[in-house]
Structure 1
């Protein structure tokens, strides 16, 4: 199946099947609030249907614990039915007849039933949760690993937060499915059946009365819940808005934007307005269906009253004892909860399958840039570093124009190629093909004659290093950021790399040195400092081929000089492909290629291109060309 995740219905948060969730302790799970099938779930299943065999396949290897859990549920439901009968023995025989032995046996049996059901409930919870967590662990790690294999294009096409939502919210929702939903359905079913049988065994007359009274009570409960559900959905939407406002207004970037735009008061007013809506919705939620709820409470109060009436009239009592009456009312009160749980099965099923569908949809994605099945063996330490573009063309989508077209170029081992041109000319696209962030639509890119598509991705990452304008430092220490490139690097090697990147002196002055936390996206440091730490990380990686994607374009002149000095150290002896914003940084390149609309229109050395008085001269601002 070829999925299109960016077109899939977007769920803003996890939707646990069963509304409020289903209990698993003690084997007598309730059903939470009544549910309706969410239209978004139906739409998701129409886009990506889920075969039941695929879901059951997740539990392959767990047959024994699942069988034990099922047995525990049945045993617990049956054993718990003994309580009302023991109560009848105590009320009808032990106490009136002063039968101490029967009283002790009955009370002891009550305690034994309570203790055994609770112990069985703990065992059931432990086993079902253990199975569910192991299944979720495997699914979560498989999904994360699979998403790591997706191309950069996948993440640019997919809406922000969608990937995280499926990996966290949907997986978390599925935990409820695999650990509670199935066991709760089984528990509710066995409890309802066992309770019904026990009620008939105690009094078939009162059982017939319950058949008349229980359906309207169930119907009324569902009506009230559906009214509240509509209000609750609006509450969830407003809470989501509130969370977004918190994230946007209190993040580092959000606070910076708010302060620079003077938008703090507007953000506070907007937050207050959303919070005020939540107050109103909470009041409506509490009052929703209040009259129906009052009617329902009257019905609930009428049920035992009618039972007492039937049991007390000579014509309908059938000689019923007080103990039987107490036992029956206990059972009758307990049957409502499992019945409500069973009524939710259909909606639970659709909701559960929708969660599986969303996760399986990502697991079925075919990577645009796939790892080779039989990679070519290439030792990074022995790579010379010759890079060739052989008739390379690339388009970001099948129906979009070519971003680069018919590119032929050779960068000798240890040589340098600079790419220049106006914005949108294809410079960054061409450079991205060297790091295999994308694959050419036609033609090929090679290193030492080996097509990049034939190299293992980890080997390619050791051969080709990238320093871009947009540095990314993880929210961890400087040491941890550097070790991402070389996990086995020693302390001396870390300092050596920082020295080569012209940032060792700065790090040495920090109180915590290498253990200084860089902050979210490196915000503790300036742009130039972040860039030099990133360069140190690349130096540790020691790639043979280096791609510099406008690494200094966003820096001021002084900072640029410091970073350029670090880059000069980095490029020494390496094959280098540089995307230049300032032409002064690439004057010494072995060859400069001028791109326009994805094609090379000029190439040569800096001096040769200036003498041509063509596109490059125009970029350099030569007056003679500009006035021609």
Structure 2
């Protein structure tokens, strides 16, 4: 019979059975009793007690699992004030046992280890519950000790445990010199006590004091340890009381703010009602502030973004944050960038920008005016003023602009058009008006030609010839001015569409789920992403002008009917023949270009792969094979392009011939007209001029029609990017500050419906700060589970929880921001070491980089480099060793102090000494750590090992425990030792 079974016998034979269902709580108010959880799960809550009964709201404290212990608390006010209640989360079975009986088991060598494990688990759970208090200080990073050590604490120094619970033996007269977690002094005992310390707690000295540390196995054999455990109860009650009072005060403040906001909205509506009758009093910029806050920066951002119809969300207040604009952009899920204001920036329209006064750095909304120039709005003073050279000199040269993202749904062509048009309505109106006006003036030419040849010349009216010439000159001058204005409007439209659409496309691309990127190679995806810009080029410029000209040429077509109905219908027939022929040739060309685009995407992907793999090709001597592989697709692409170009040549030939053939047909028809229907010379020339203009517009329209047809194959390639829903959903919840607690509940996963299951019925629970390892052969599901934890994939069945929150309901971007991932084959960016470690984070400094480098055991290596932190890393990191590269990648993760760190065989390139330094540094971070390990000697000190095989967890335990069991883990470890 095993030790565990023997201890279980004690509980089952001597304990009282306690069966529990959900919502059947009982109070943990008897310090002389303990409860062992045989099955199920128990949540412990902090509650308010009145006459020994639970009243009011519950506050979650911690969760206890099977084979864990619950113990009673000793309260100074029995039945009143703060208490602790236990309730089942599912049908559960507990055994109640006198604490004295449990303590007697410590005298039995076969039971003592299991009793120590149960008590340590209870202490760890209680301290974990306390650590959820936001005001509960984090343990110091540099004073982590183990049992059987002796240390002298100077004033202000602290001690904590690396992993297991340890006990501090202190002189009885100096116990009150220690502060529990630096908050509350320990009460002065009447007898000697031992104070428990876990990895979630610490003792801080207010004066010099000597401390001897004992293991739980030794301490729990003494009465001093149990007295020390009981002595902590008043501190626990006080800390929880303070936490409840703080939460209640916050709830009251939020409720008060809610009612205040409600009345603010009422007042705002009343003000708007009053402004209806007096527009002069309406403040257009103040009305843009839809969320009224005391934050001038946020209000200025609202004014700037309202111009682009971007709705902002106020971020949570963080006094430590130095990237306030970034916080607003991240919470609101918009992109932004820094811009530099040049000398005469206020004379040009660069869109709305966020600026700052040079003097005090207060924010300004820099808003373009419809008639040119800029106006600045100061949210602090609620005043707006026109910017001139003097004002511009007082504004900081660095400003910020925001980019509007696409709507958060599958996009259609109409969505793109609406997105591109919304800020250019005036330019589109101007474009239409100028085009119509130019074509209207164009009617003067054929009319005056008819008058000239039918009236003026036959009557030899010399002055009338001058008048006609001046009229024609004026008409052409007016048309020139209209076309110049039209081209300026078109240029503004193109510029606005280009930067706005491209920014939105790349924002959409960066927001797509990672499963999307498995469908395409990198080069192919880049080519698809640029498709929107290609569509914009095809639809703007000449194509837009030609389409408008063809619409307005209907005025010339109407003029044809004025001169001759029969000739007008003949002209219409000729135009229709041309349009139909060009359309059919265009369809043929498009089918060929569709193939060419598909091959181009494959060629782009192959080229990128070849460029990144040149070194491998040279090592393996396969350059010819790589070249042949590329050449095959390149030849197919060029063949499709050549065939499409031949069809294009036919279109060009037809477009060139049709005006001549049409003129010949018109002349033939005119010659064959009956005498009564024949036109005068002036009327014929006028008809011919109008027909020439109409035919030219239709020819241009035919070419534009081909360009429009080219849009469809490009759009087909871009459609996956536009129609795939973004991974980041604005409706998802903010996870808040994560502590690192993870629960995976009965998760099944496979990559598609036809593939086998990669993970089956995976369940595990990681407490905050635990260090666990995933072990197993290749393909067993370890990395897939990590992908699920990162939200890269979604489980087919089951759920994943972070700090009790369902991952499927959380904003994945905010979750990943608190997770650090170090991969075995991670890559560094060409540049200096400093930028590789801190990246673009504005709140990180060189000091933070050195601290992260020290934790990753690479600081000394960097100091020995020629330029220290500013040493340049080349492409492929060929200037540093593999171990240095791996440690810089680790520093890159540690500098952000994530709550969860995932290592995918990330320490494989480190020697044993360096690995020990890195492991010790990780222990000080209090982050939850998951390591995927193949070198099993590196995970001897982890809290727990999960052994995977064929998508299932088949073993769980510590390194020593699993080495004592026959199974896959022992087989893998033995194989490596050999």
TM-score w.r.t. the length of structure 1 is 0.72
Shift of 1:588: 1.8
CA contact (8 A) 2:528 2:601 kept: no
Q: Which residue of 2 aligns with 1:194?
A: 555
Are residues 564 and 180 of structure 1, via their aligned partners in 2, closer, same or farther at CA, if it must alter by over 3 Å? Answer: farther
* Alignment equivalent of 2:617, drawn from 255, 258, 266: 258
Q: CA deviation at 1:280?
A: 7.9
- Aligned-pair Cα RMSD in Å: 4.8
Stretch of structure 1 that moved more, 324-333 or 539-548: 324-333
The match for 1:36 is: none
Instruction: Give the Cα–Cα distance (whole angstroms) in 1 for the partners of residues 545 and 657 of structure 2.
Output: 33
Give, in angstroms, the shift of residue 606 of structure 1.
Answer: 2.0
| Offset, 1:582 | 0.6
Relative to structure 1, the CA distance from residue 456 to residue 343 in structure 2 (aligned partners, 3 Å threshold; closer, same or farther) is closer
Equivalence for 1:538: 893
Cα distance change, pair 224–112 in 1 and its aligned pair in 2 (3 A): same
How many angstroms apart in 2 are the aligned matches of 1:273 and 1:374?
Answer: 49
Q: Residue 269 and residue 512 in structure 1: after superposition, are their counterparts in 2 closer, same or farther (change >3 A)?
A: farther
Q: Distance in 1 between matches of 2:675 and 2:916?
A: 99
List per-residue Cα deviations over 1:96-144 (Å, max 9, x = no partner): 7776654444444334333433333343344355456656755555554
Q: Secondary structure at the match of 1:429?
A: helix
Partner of 2:698: 339
Gaps of 5+ in 2: 1-409
**Contact persistence 1:434–1:464 (CA under 8 A):** no
Does structure 1 conserve the Cα–Cα contact (< 8 Å) formed by 2:435 and 2:549?
A: yes
Measure the CA separation in 2 of the matches of 1:94 and 1:529.
93
Deviation for aligned residue 1:71: 2.5
Q: Which residue of 2 aligns with 1:582?
A: 935
Distance apart, 1:489 and its partner CA = 1.0
**TM-superposition CA deviations, 1:501-532 (whole Å, max 9, x none):** 3445458746696384653x767766544433
Structure 2 counterpart of 1:379: 737
Question: In structure 1, the residue corresponding to 2:947 is in which secondary structure?
Answer: strand
1:423 equivalent to 2:778? Answer yes
Q: Deviations over 1:412-441 (max 9, x none)?
A: 443311111111222223333443434555
Q: Which residue of 1 aligns with 2:471?
A: 109
Counterpart pick for 1:493 among 831, 848, 859: 848
Within 5 Å, give how 1:149-548 maps onto structure 2: 149-156=511-518, 164-170=526-532, 172-174=534-536, 176-177=538-539, 184-191=546-553, 193-202=554-563, 206-207=567-568, 210-211=571-572, 214=575, 216=577, 243=604, 246-249=607-610, 251-253=611-613, 255-265=614-624, 300-305=659-664, 307=666, 324-340=683-699, 362=721, 365-366=724-725, 373-376=732-735, 378-380=736-738, 383=739, 385-397=740-752, 401-453=756-808, 455-474=810-829, 478-484=833-839, 486-504=841-859, 505-506=861-862, 509=865, 514=870, 516=872, 518-519=874-875, 527-548=882-903
Cα contact 2:774–2:782 (8 A) shared by 1: yes
Question: How far 1:168 sits from its partner (Å)?
Answer: 2.4
The answer for the alignment partner of 1:605 in structure 2 is 958
In the other structure, the counterpart of 2:30 is none
Q: How far apart are residue 623 of structure 1 and its match?
A: 10
With over 3 angstroms needed to count, the CA separation of the structure-2 counterparts of 1:480 and 1:98, relative to structure 1, is farther
Larger Rg: 2
Distance 1:387 1:411 in 2: 5
| Corresponding residue SS for 1:375 | coil
Task: Give the C-alpha shift of residue 186 in structure 1.
Answer: 3.9
Return the offset for 1:74.
Answer: 2.0
Closer, same or farther in 2 for the Cα pair 1:323/1:248, shift >3 Å?
farther
> Helix, strand or coil: the match of 2:535?
helix
* Deviation, structure 1 residue 579: 0.9
Could you tell me how far apart the structure 2 residues matched to 1:232 and 1:394 are? Answer: 40
- Matches of 1:173 and 1:392, distance apart in 2: 43
| Residue of structure 2 in register with 1:71 after alignment | 433
SS of 2:921's partner is helix
Higher fraction of strand: 2
Provide closer, same or farther for how the CA distance between residues 493 and 97 of structure 1 changes in structure 2, counting only shifts above 3 A.
farther
Q: Secondary structure at the match of 1:572?
A: helix
Structure having greater relative contact order (Cα 8 Å, sep ≥ 6)? 1
Shift of the 349–399 alpha-carbon distance from structure 1 to 2, 3 Å rule, reads same
| CA deviations over 1:71-100 (Å, ceiling 9, x no partner) | 332222222232333445566666777766
SS at match of 1:335: helix
Deviations 1:436-474 (A, max 9, x none): 434555554444444445554344234321112231445
Corresponding residue of 1:591: 944
Give 2:264's aligned residue.
none
Cα gap change, 1:270 to 1:99, in 2 (>3 Å): farther
Is this contact kept in 1: 2:856–2:888, CA < 8 A?
A: yes
Aligned residue runs from structure 1 range 95-106, under 5 A: 101-106=463-468
Cα distance in 2 for partners of 1:75, 1:583 equals 81
Offset of residue 572 of structure 1: 3.5
Q: Which structure 2 residues correspond to residues 562-573 of structure 1 after superposition, within 5 A?
A: 565-566=917-918, 568-573=920-925
- Displacement after TM superposition at 1:618 (Å): 0.5
Whether contact under 8 Å (2:590, 2:710) holds in the other structure is no
- How far apart are the structure 1 equivalents of 2:648 and 2:793? 57
SS of the residue corresponding to residue 825 of structure 2 reads coil
Residue 620 (structure 1) aligned with residue 976 (structure 2): no
CA contact (8 A) 2:659 2:695 kept: no
CA–CA distance in structure 2, aligned partners of residues 91 and 448 of structure 1 = 90
Matches within 5 A, 1:550-569: 550-553=905-908, 555=909, 565-566=917-918, 568-569=920-921
Does structure 1 retain, via aligned residues, the 8 Å contact 2:527–2:604?
Answer: no
Cα separation, partners in 2 of 1:568 and 1:549, compared to 1, 3 Å: farther
Shift of 1:182: 6.4
SS in 2 for 1:423: coil
The answer to whether the 8 A contact 2:748-2:797 is kept is yes
**Worse overlay, 106-115 or 592-601:** 106-115
Q: Are the equivalent residues in 2 in contact too, given 1:420–1:592 (CA < 8 A)?
A: yes
CA–CA separation in structure 1 for the residues paired with 2:577 and 2:516: 52
Cα distance in structure 2, aligned partners of 1:271 and 1:399: 32
1:333 to 1:502, Cα distance in 2 relative to 1, 3 A: farther
**Counterpart Cα distance in 1 of 2:490 and 2:670:** 42
Partners of 1:478 and 1:515 within 8 A in 2? yes
Q: Distance in 2 between matches of 1:447 and 1:278?
A: 49
Structure 2 contact 451–682 (Cα < 8 Å) conserved: yes
Q: 1:577 Cα shift?
A: 1.3
Instruction: Provide the secondary structure at the position in 2 that maps to 1:120.
Output: helix
Native 8 Å contact 2:600 2:637 kept in 1: yes
**Does the 8 Å CA contact 1:369/1:439 hold for their aligned counterparts?**
no
TM superposition shift of 1:200 = 3.6
Q: The residue matched to 2:518 in structure 1 has which SS?
A: helix
